[in-house]
Structures are given as C-alpha cells and as structure tokens.
Chains A and B, each alone.
Chain A
Amino acid sequence: MNEKISNYQLTMFIVLTILGVGIFSLPRVVAEATNSDGWITTILGGMIAIGEYYIISKLARKFPNFTFVEIAKEVVGKVLAIPIIFVFLLNTIIVSSMVLRIFGEVIKMSLLFKTPIEVILISFLLLAFLLARGGIEPIVRFDEFVFPIMIFSVILLLALAIPDSDFTNILPIMRTKPMDFINGVMETSFAYTDFEFVLFIVPFIKNREKIFKSGFIAILIVVAVYVGIVILSFAKLGVESVKQSMWPTLSMIRSINVPDSFIERLEGIIMPLWILFAFTTIAPSLYVLSKIISKTINHKEFKHFCTMLIPIIYIIAITPNSVVDAYKLLNFTVKYIGSISVFVIPILLYTVASIRKMGEKQNA
C-alpha cells in the first residue's frame, strides 16, 4: 500500500537517525570549548547543520529519482565518482563503527559491567542487520512507531530533572571569545551527523518539495533536545563537573531524584529507552552502507552486502584501544572527512550539475 515516505515520516527518520550517542558527551564537548555558553554553541552547531542540510536538499531536488551514488556517477562520470563515493563511504563506515563502539562502552558502564563488549557489539549489529535488510520501509515504520515514545521520555526526563537544579549555572553569558565559539561549533558537528542519509532515500519520498522543510523541523527538534540536555547538565552538575565527567548526561540522569516513587534510579528506565536511540542510528547506517556498495557495483540486491558489512564494522569498532581513542577517531573523522563529505561534496556536485544543466528544473 503506502510505498512512499511522507513528510512526518521523513522528519521522524532524520530526528532519530541523528540522535544517537552524541547526547552523552555533548555537554562536556561544549563545556570544554565554551564553558557556560555551551548551550549557545549547541544552537550554533545546529544552524550549521541546517545549512549543510539545505545544500543536500537542493541536490536531492535536482535529482529526485537518484540516490547519492547515482547522482555522483551522473554528474562527474563513473570514474571521477569513485573517489567521491569512497570519501563518503569512509566517513559513514568509521562514524558508524565508532558510534557502535561508544554505545557498547556506555552500556558497559551502566547496565552490564562485566559482559565482554564483543557480545554487546555483535548482538547489536545482528539486530541492526535484521531491520536493515528489509529496506527503507521497515526502518521508517520502525522510526514512526518509536518516535512518540522517545520524545515523550525525553520530555519527561527533562521535566523531572528541573527540581534541585541551579539554573544560574549557565551564567555568565557571552564571555567566550569568538575563536572558542568556532572551535566549539566544529566539535559539536559530530552530534549532528547522519542527516546526509536523506540522500539515499530520496526516490522513496512522497513530497519532493518538502524535503527541506521536513529536515529543517527535524534538526530543530534535535537542537531543542540537545539544548535542553546541555542546560540541565550544567544546572545539575555545574560547568566544571561537566568538563570533568566522561558522560555528563549519564551523570545528570543519575542525579535525578524522583521522591517517593517506585523507581530508585531513573537510569534503569532511561538506559533501555536510550538503546532505541542508538539502534535508530546504527540500523539506517548499515542500510546506507550496503546501498552505497550495491549501487556502486551495480548489483541488484543490497541485502548481501548487509551481511558482509557486519564483520567489517565490528572489526573497525573494536580497533580503538579505549573509549578515549574511539572518541579521538570519531572526532577526527567527522571534523575532516565528514565535513568534506557533507559539505564540500554536495556543493561540488550541485555546482557541476548546475553548470552542466543537469537534473530537474525547480521552481524559483
């Protein structure tokens, strides 16, 4: 019946794909760069993401029936497209593997202390495989079903965190130098990554004109969630503690005290819900990766590559020696390779396409 993705579904898809493991370390990242102005940095990071998304949506509208790989091949020819695709692929695969690794580390820290991380990683990958092999439709339906639950729990969490918080901790405002701001914004970019996946589902989207609007709303929602978490982390823990804490969001959740309730530690409820967040990031990544490979090689079935990618992602995920190394690799990848693939490449493709007068005309 409904084969096309509607606006709501697109928005939900983007929100859930972006919200992943970034939530946990974001307060620390912005605090380290800009101290108490961290929330402003978060918003600025979101603005940049919106800008990047705008370019992507324009590119998508120019070629409404192509995915990213096909666009690249069409615009610059099959040979030149290969390095472009390769950069994209590298970015996505490293980011996904690191996200998986960090996810495993957080689970180890909060739910399963002694379980070997390999078990967590493999089981999660298998699950992602189950969803990704069905194509984009089940992924979108999954997101749609799960979205209200997640938004509801995030709002509940933020509301419960408000008592016993000192909101003056976000003062003083605007004492940071512009250089620090720029630095901070660069660091937050990894928290907003993954929206470029839209380039792979364009042929399935119902309303081509609304691609930008849906994504815009989606990123706004993400920004709102992030800002809420950052402010509450500062309010509950204090800026300096946030800078010291590995995963300030986790510490903040642990500090929430729901008096006289059945639940002693909110963390027990929030962590399972958060597993859903991580899942909705990793499953689409697997799908996109296998789609890239299958479209580049012009193979019909992307499902086969799903299976092949599992060991690859797993191996990359266990390569870093520790959590710190994982974060370093992640940040490096996103800052340099990511910005190229999300920023430079779409602009390049769009410009070349415009010059060569390719693709569909759009209304002014």
Chain B
Amino acid sequence: MSIYNYLKGRFYTNKEGADKEKEKVPIPKDVDTVLENLKEVFKDCDDLIYREFNVGENQQYKFLLVCIDGLSDKALIDNFVLESLMLCARDIRPNGESVKKRLFELTKNASLTTTEIKEEDDLNGVVTSILSADTALFIDGYGKAIVIGTKSWPARGPSEPKSEGVVRGPSDGFVETLRFNTALVRRRIRDPRLKIVQKSIGVRSKTDIAVVYIDDIVNKDLLKEVNERLKDIEIDGILESGYIEQLIEDNTFSPFPQVQATERPDVVAGAVLEGRVGIIVDNSPFVLIAPATLISMIQSAEDYYQRWVVSTFIRVTRTIAAIISMVLPALYIAVTTYNPDIIPTKLALSIASSREGVPFPAILEAIIMEVSIELLREAGVRLPDPIGATIGIVGGIIIGQAAVAANIVSPIMVIIVSLTAISSFTIPNFGLNTGLILIRFGLMLLAAFLGLYGIMLGVIATLIHLVNLKSFGVPYLAPFVSVSAGDFKDSVVRYPLSTFIYRPEFLDVNNKKRMKRMSLKSKYTTNRSRKR
C-alpha cells in the first residue's frame, strides 16, 4: 500500500481523521522509495524540488534533498548543504569503512554547516516540515531524515503599524512571520523567564502560534486557561489571529472584544510585563493579548511615553470621546423630539428653523447620516490610499453640503454626525470602535421611541452587559470594579510613572513589585543646587 493511499485515507477533516493523522509513518530506508512516496504525496505540487546527489570520495553515497521552491532559502541550501556535502566532504579523507557506518551522524553532526538541524523519523512530520519551508535530507540506507531549517519566504520588514500610530514611540510593527515577531518581543525583554511556547493549530494549515508570557509573573491559572482554550480549537485552517480570537473568547455575542489585538511590539511587551499572555499567530501581524479589559482598549501605548499631565488629559479626552461617539446622535434625537427644554432657547429655535424644510423626522435623518458615514468609512478603507483620502474629503464635505442644500438633512445633523465620527476615530482599538457602532444604533432607536428615558435604558442595558462580561476570568470592567483603588492610577487618568510600583491587581499575579519606590518630588534639583 503506498503512502499516498495510506495518507489519503487519513487526511480527513473530521475528528477521526485528525486523530489518525497523528499516527507515525516510518521512513523507508531506500531513498528511491522515499522519492516515490513523496512524489505521490506531493502529486501535482509543481513547486517541489527533488535533488538527488551523491556524496563521498567516490560518490558512493546516495542522498536526496527535498524542498519547496519559494519557501526555502536556496542560497543556504546551495552554500551550506550541497556545497558542504558535495565538495567539502570530498576533501576530507575519511576512512571508507568508518565513514560508512557513521554516515548519518557524521552528516548530521559534522558536515552540515547550518544552524538549525533536526532529526525526524516520521514521514508525516517530514512532509509538514517541508511544507513549513524546511528542507528534508534523506540518506540511502537510513530510515531517518535530517530536517534543515531553511525558512525564507517573501515577507515585508517591520513598518509602521497601520492601525495604531503614535506621535512618540517606536514605529516598528509586527509582520506576518512568526519568527520576526517573536524576535521583536525578545528584543524588548531580555529575560530568560520570557517564555515563548510554540504550538501548531489548524488541521490543514498547521499554523504556528506562539504563547508568550513571563514565567514568574503570570498567573498560572490564566496560563492554564489560555492553553486549554487553544487546545480546544479544532479547525481546518487558521488564516489570521482573528480566527483564534473568535474561537477562544468568552462571549461571542458581545459587541465588545474580549481579546486585545495589536500590531505594536511595545504594547505586547508592556502587557506581558504586567502579567498578561500574548499569542502570536503566524501569517498575521496582529498579536493577541489576553486578558483584555475595557480600559485596555481605550489606552494607547503612547500614553506611557508621555508625561503624566499630558497623558491624563489625553486619556480623559479619549474617554469622553468614546462616550460621545456612543451617545451623541441618540441625544440629539431625544432632545429634539422629546425634551427640548434642556437646550437654550436660541439653540432650540435655531435647530427648529434649520429643520423646517427637512422631510424626515429626526430619527430617520440620523439613521441616514450615520449609515452614510459608515459607508464612506468602509469605502475609504477599501480604496487605495490616494483615492481613499479624496473620497473622504469629497464624501464628507461635498456630499454633506449638498445634502443640506437639498434639504435632505439639517446642518445640525451633519455637525452631530461628524463629531460622532471624529470621536470614534480617537479610539485606538478598531474592534471596540465597531462594537460601539452597534450600541450607537441601538441607543438611537431607543431614543426615537422613549426619549431620554430610552437612552438611559440602553445605557443601563449596556452596563449590565459589561458588568457580566469577563475576559479569561478577569472582569471586563476592571479596574473600576472589584479591585482596590490602586488600579485607578492607570485607567481613565494616568498618575506619574513613579507611582506604578505594583503590577495591576486585577491580574492577580505573582511577583507584584515592579519598580522601586521613588518620591514624587523632584529629587534631583535639590541635590544639585546644594552642591553649587
């Protein structure tokens, strides 16, 4: 029975097939058989390279090298595998007999001048390794293969993260290659206790993911929970970290993301230092951080690099902006239709007069405008850069103006909607942004039917949902909730960095102290001035 048929019967995507797949298939000792089997498995995969070559003084030993064109680093293979074996080995004059017995060990340990080498005796494993851009080396007469690490596929270098820009702070963002990403994190934390544990998830995609944490800080229960949830995933393919996010999160129906996704290595490093767990997924520049709280979605990395006055101010502004983006259109609807007594008379009269010619009631007006803005935003994302920017201006200004002039909407509505849009863009986390849109529409509907009371009902309902939400065991509304007052330092406001002595409490970590206690007073000026 050929390996192909054998394997064909096993590569199902149901559980049975997946289990059976894990059975080992021994490697035939004869290189020709190996070649045949591999060609069966990789039938119609024309990007495979099969290199047979002979090694030794008299070219008596048959070797087979298999790799995938485009994935493997051919330069490395040429220079350090083929050359080492074919040419350099020829120069060494080993005694024929002694070499023959120890051919495998000699090759593996003494001749291949490459960094990464592994021994493999399972054909399935070899197939996976070849597909992972490694090179497989078979030696005639041995039922083992040497897997050489030659990973080099087309990848872009670290560049500015698209979705999280900062004014002050590093601009290198994660890329699609797992190894580069782990490198970016390692660079920032040079502690051997920073553990990077790799797993492979996805039956067909066998995507590498890395679980990153600091051993003596992280809460072991949290780590266990993360690992268990990852283990539970049984899926064909993981194409992006988003798949993982959706499969391990606590509540799929919530508009709020419970796992943070970021493109920035400094954010991941910071999170890991606090005691969180990072999940890097191959082929995705978005790294997941668990657990996540509402506050972590509104914070930006830059908040820590600026001084506390600026940071506090900006954070407060951002929080207010988040609230505004949720509530403003609904407030407009409620105030104009149910309770105009809240706004000053002149404003009320001016709103009334500007709505004179508008045929729609306030709620419809609001919905039309909101939907238009969403369409504009979506269009702006899909279009390539230069056109996208133009559409923004064209859409916003011209269409808005035209709509007002045609009396489809009132000018006040345009202002409200623009304010809402701008406020929502200040939120660093895109997932939260889209979640808030749902809430915004819900509040608008409630406002249309029950006015201010309706808005309060919606707000309370949202709060109830938030209060019930947990991310990996941590309440979503931490640090406002169920912890001591100490965590308030780093939430809506940001106290001076010298007060961040303990790690956040809600993570319940070991090793709580992270900084030496320093006095807030400037201890430098007094000393210096005295010396003078």
Whether A and B touch directly in their complex, counting CB atoms under 8 A apart, is answered as yes
Interfacial residues, chain A to chain B (CB-CB below 8 A): 1-2, 6, 8-9, 107, 111-112, 115, 119-120, 123-124, 127, 130-131, 134, 138, 140-142, 144-146, 262-265, 267-269, 271-272, 275-276, 279
Bound form: Cα–Cα A96–B479 in Å? 32
Inside 8 A of B484's CB, which chain A residues have their CB?
Answer: 6
Which residue of chain B lies nearest to A5 when distances are taken between CB atoms in the complex?
Answer: B482
Stretch binding the partner chain, chosen from B68-76, B85-93, B118-126, B447-455: B447-455
Once the chains bind, are B468 and A134 in contact (CB under 8 Å)?
Answer: yes
Asked if B342 and A144 sit within 8 Å, CB to CB, the answer is no
Which residues of chain B are near A262, meaning CB under 8 Å?
A: 343-344
B463 within 8 A of A: yes
Which A residues are CB-close (under 8 A) to B485?
A: 8
Q: Which residue of A lies closest to B291 (CB)?
A: A1
Of residues 430 through 452 on chain B, the ones whose CB sits less than 8 Å from some CB of chain A are: 450-452
Contact of A1 with B457 at beta-carbon distance under 8 Å, contacts A142-B467, A145-B463 already known: no
Q: Knowing A112-B453, A272-B455 touch, does A145 contact B342 (C-beta < 8 A)?
A: no
Question: Which B residues touch A1, using CB under 8 A?
Answer: 473-475, 482, 506, 508
Q: How far is the CB of B492 from chain A (nearest CB, A)?
A: 11
The tally of CB-CB contacts under 8 A between chains A and B is: 91
The verdict on A138 contacting B344 (CB below 8 Å), with A112-B450, A123-B457, A275-B453 known, is no
Q: A131-B467, A265-B341 are in contact. List 9 more A-B contacts (CB 8 A).
A: A6-B482, A8-B485, A141-B467, A146-B463, A265-B342, A268-B335, A275-B456, A276-B460, A279-B460
Instruction: Chain A residues near B515: list those with CB within 8 A.
Output: none
Given contacts A145-B480, A264-B341, contact A111 B464 (CB under 8 A): no
Give chain B residues whose Cβ lies under 8 Å from the Cβ of A127: 457, 460-461, 464
CA distance A240 to B452 in the complex (A): 32
Knowing A2-B483, A265-B341, A265-B342, the reply to whether A138 touches B477 (Cβ < 8 A) is no
Q: Of all chain B residues, which has the CB nearest A271?
A: B452
Contacting pair A131 B343 (CB below 8 A): no
Q: Give the residue name and chain of the B residue nearest to A272 (CB).
A: B456
Q: Which of B342, B457, B460, B461 lies in contact with A269, CB distance below 8 A? A: B342
CA distance A320 to B452 in the complex (A): 26
Asked if B338 and A145 make an inter-chain contact with CB atoms under 8 angstroms apart, the answer reads no
**A120 contacts B453, C-beta separation under 8 Å:** yes
A141-B481, A145-B480 known; A264 vs B453 contact (CB < 8 Å): no
Tell whether B339 is near chain A: CB-to-CB under 8 Å.
yes
Q: Point out the residues of chain A lying under 8 angstroms from B60, CB to CB.
A: none
Give the dominant DSSP class at A's interface: helix
Query: Complex formed: what's the CA distance from A138 to B482 in Å?
Result: 10
Q: Which residues 132-178 of B have a CB within 8 angstroms of A?
A: none
Chain B residue, CB-CB nearest to A274: B456
A-B CB proximity, top 5 nearest = A268-B342, A275-B456, A2-B482, A141-B481, A272-B456
Q: Is the CB of A272 within 8 A of B343?
A: no
A124: chain B residues at CB < 8 Å are 457
**Would you give the 0/1 interface string for B39-80, flagging 1 where the beta carbon is closer than 8 Å to chain A?**
000000000000000000000000000000000000000000
B519 within 8 A of A: no
Q: How distant is A214 from chain B, measured CB to nearest CB, in Å?
A: 15
- Enumerate chain A residues within 8 angstroms of B338, measured Cβ to Cβ: 111-112
A2 surroundings in chain B (CB, below 8 A): 475, 482-483
Check B345 for interface membership: any CB of A closer than 8 A.
yes
Q: Which residues of A contact B341 (CB under 8 A)?
A: 264-265, 267-268
| Chain B neighbourhood of A8, CB < 8 A | 485
Once the chains are docked, how many angstroms separate the CA of A130 from the CA of B345?
Answer: 39
Given the known inter-chain contacts A138-B468, A141-B481, A142-B464, please indicate yes or no for A264 contacting B345, CB distance below 8 A. Answer: yes
Distance, CA A130 to CA B464, complexed state (A): 7
List 30 contacting pairs A-B, 8 Å CB cutoff, sorted by A.
A1-B473, A1-B474, A107-B453, A111-B338, A111-B339, A111-B453, A119-B450, A124-B457, A127-B464, A130-B461, A131-B464, A138-B467, A138-B468, A140-B482, A141-B475, A141-B482, A142-B464, A142-B467, A144-B480, A144-B481, A144-B482, A146-B463, A262-B344, A263-B342, A264-B342, A267-B341, A267-B342, A268-B341, A268-B342, A276-B456
